[in-house]
């Protein structure tokens, strides 16, 4: 927080933020907002994003979130990165949801996680922080949204309202505060960009966990020119299953994706040092790497990436995989019409089997077998036509592997 001092005016409790641009605060130069979506156990990814922002010395002046994003935003406001990381490294499902008393509670409640968060989140530190902190929850049963800044939340009730924002009904029962019931804020605003706009954010870093919830498209459109959107190309896992190993994995992905978003690294699914890969073919290279199961947690150089792909391909080719054997035996005998009609059957084959078979086929066409000194060519038209129409990405990946002598 050593960047130029940015003063954020207090907010006010309201049903929804003002939509009239004239009532919005004008952008404050240098004011950066971190907007965190809902997404349950996927929230570990956001902590990885936060780690990268800290390393890049990007200050956060506004931290707002919905559901798990509200919990993580509170940690940001408190500047408690180490505590947040340590918590995510040990969280398991039974630490979050109180399954032991489902019958008497008439559903799953947050009893356990409330105790844990009570030991990690410090309300006074959040209130005294220079970071503007805000959450979204939804009243039940009216379904009216409630946007709250920290100054709107009654003293001593901050943790309650954070958990109210996280009550992912029907998996969790509505959260009660003074006889009022509340639900997960994602029922109205899954990623509260409007709160950042309301406070005058000049730059918005929005982290989308791609879970269930209502996205306010009009807010995204309004903030487009000042927003860096960070989201993952990989499946982050079930949002209801908390697993420490997966948390560590997706924290790493969040960290790498942020470095890519800010131009430190390159890539989409995978991460490369600057100028390591041909950007014209990087998506094809990544598709091949994904098919053969390369590790996305590594920062690759070109040489290391190529070596890992070559090893993975060699291991697969020598594995006697049933998908590949079935393709080799039957696919070349099909007409194009039969191939089209067999699409559902063909789609069940693994991508690596399809790519390997295509590469074999292409290499045979380049160097067909001979008999008595004469080249023997199998009629390639049906397969070639199918490749060009149906298996476009697999064909490109096979060509890339052949060109780079990786298969």
Among 61-70, 217-226, 256-265, 291-300, the range scoring the smallest mean pLDDT is 217-226
Which of the listed ranges 15-19, 236-240, 321-325 does the model predict with the highest average pLDDT?
236-240
Mean of the pLDDT values across residues 24-53?
A: 94
The helix/strand/coil state of 213 is: coil
What is the model's pLDDT at position 2?
42
What is the model's pLDDT at position 7?
56
Distances (CA, A) of 348 to 8, 14, 353, 384: 54, 51, 10, 20
Per-domain residue ranges of the chain: 21-264, 268-406
Output 10 or 94, whichever has higher pLDDT. 94
Using the predicted structure, report yes or no on whether residue 340 has a pLDDT greater than 60: no
Confidence of residue 205 (pLDDT cuts 50, 70, 90): very high
Output 19 or 59, whichever has higher pLDDT. 59
**Token pair recorded at residue 310:** 């070559």
What is the model's pLDDT at position 106?
58
Residue 329 burial by CB count (10 A; 0-12/13-18/19+): exposed, middle or buried? Answer: exposed
Among 36-40, 161-165, 339-343, 389-393, the range scoring the smallest mean pLDDT is 339-343
Task: Name 234's Cβ contacts closer than 8 Å, sequence gap at least 6.
Answer: 250, 253, 269, 296
Contact 362, 394 (CB under 8 A): no
Which of the listed ranges 43-52, 176-185, 387-396 does the model predict with the highest average pLDDT?
43-52
- The alpha carbon of 326 is separated from its chain's Cα centroid by a whole number of angstroms, namely 35
Using the predicted structure, report yes or no on whether residue 262 has a pLDDT greater than 90: yes
Using the predicted structure, report yes or no on whether residue 214 has a pLDDT greater than 70: yes
What is the model's pLDDT at position 12?
46
Confidence of residue 22 (pLDDT cuts 50, 70, 90): low
What is the model's pLDDT at position 107?
62
Q: Quote the CA–CA distance of 143 and 136 in Å, as a whole number.
A: 12
What is the model's pLDDT at position 279?
87
CATH number of the 21-264 domain: 3.40.1090.10
What is the model's pLDDT at position 1?
41
Q: Quote the CA–CA distance of 160 and 377 in Å, as a whole number.
A: 73
- The alpha carbon of 335 is separated from its chain's Cα centroid by a whole number of angstroms, namely 41
pTM over 0.95: no
Among 52-61, 318-327, 391-400, the range scoring the smallest mean pLDDT is 318-327
Task: Name 100's Cβ contacts closer than 8 Å, sequence gap at least 6.
Answer: none
Three-class SS string for 43-67?
HHHHHHHHHHHHHCCCCCCEEEEEC
Confidence of residue 148 (pLDDT cuts 50, 70, 90): very high
Facing residues of 65 across strands? 36, 135
Mean of the pLDDT values across residues 373-377?
A: 53
Contact 39, 239 (CB under 8 A): yes
């Amino acid at each position: 927080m050593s960047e130029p001092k940015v003063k954020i005016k207090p907010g006010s409790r309201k049903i929804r933020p003002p939509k009239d641009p004239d009532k919005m605060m004008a952008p404050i130069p240098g004011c950066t907002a971190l907007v965190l979506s809902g997404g349950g156990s996927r929230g570990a990814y956001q902590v990885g994003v936060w780690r990268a922002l800290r390393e890049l010395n990007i200050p956060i002046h506004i931290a707002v979130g919905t559901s798990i994003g509200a919990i993580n935003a509170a940690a940001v406001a408190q500047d408690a990165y180490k505590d947040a990381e340590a918590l995510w490294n040990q969280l398991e499902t039974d630490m979050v949801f109180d399954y032991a008393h489902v019958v008497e509670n008439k559903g799953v409640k947050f009893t356990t996680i409330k105790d844990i968060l009570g030991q990690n989140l410090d309300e006074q530190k959040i209130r005294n922080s220079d970071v503007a902190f805000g959450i979204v929850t939804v009243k039940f049963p009216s379904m009216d949204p409630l946007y709250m800044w920290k100054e709107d939340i009654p003293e001593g009730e901050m943790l309650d309202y954070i958990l109210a924002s996280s009550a992912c009904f029907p998996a969790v029962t509505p959260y009660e505060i003074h006889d009022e019931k509340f639900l997960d804020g994602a029922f109205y605003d899954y990623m509260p960009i409007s709160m950042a706009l309301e406070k005058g954010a000049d730059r918005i870093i929005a982290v989308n966990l791609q879970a269930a919830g209502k996205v306010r498209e009009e807010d995204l459109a309004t903030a487009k020119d000042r927003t860096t959107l960070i989201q993952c190309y990989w499946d982050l896992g079930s949002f209801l299953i908390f697993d420490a190993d997966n948390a560590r994995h997706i924290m790493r992905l969040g960290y790498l994706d942020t470095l890519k978003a800010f131009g430190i690294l390159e890539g989409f699914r995978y991460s490369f040092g600057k100028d390591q890969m041909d950007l014209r073919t990087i998506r094809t290279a990544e598709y091949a790497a994904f098919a053969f199961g390369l590790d996305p947690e590594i920062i690759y150089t070109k040489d290391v990436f190529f070596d890992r792909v070559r090893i993975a391909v060699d291991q697969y080719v020598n594995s006697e995989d049933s998908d590949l054997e079935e393709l080799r035996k039957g696919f070349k005998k099909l007409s194009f019409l039969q191939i089209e009609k067999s699409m559902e059957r063909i789609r069940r084959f693994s991508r690596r089997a399809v790519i390997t078979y295509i590469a074999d086929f292409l290499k045979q066409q380049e160097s067909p077998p001979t008999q008595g000194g004469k080249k023997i060519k199998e009629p390639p038209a049906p397969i070639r036509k199918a490749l060009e129409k149906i298996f476009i990405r697999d064909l490109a990946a096979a060509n890339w592997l052949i060109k780079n002598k990786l298969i």
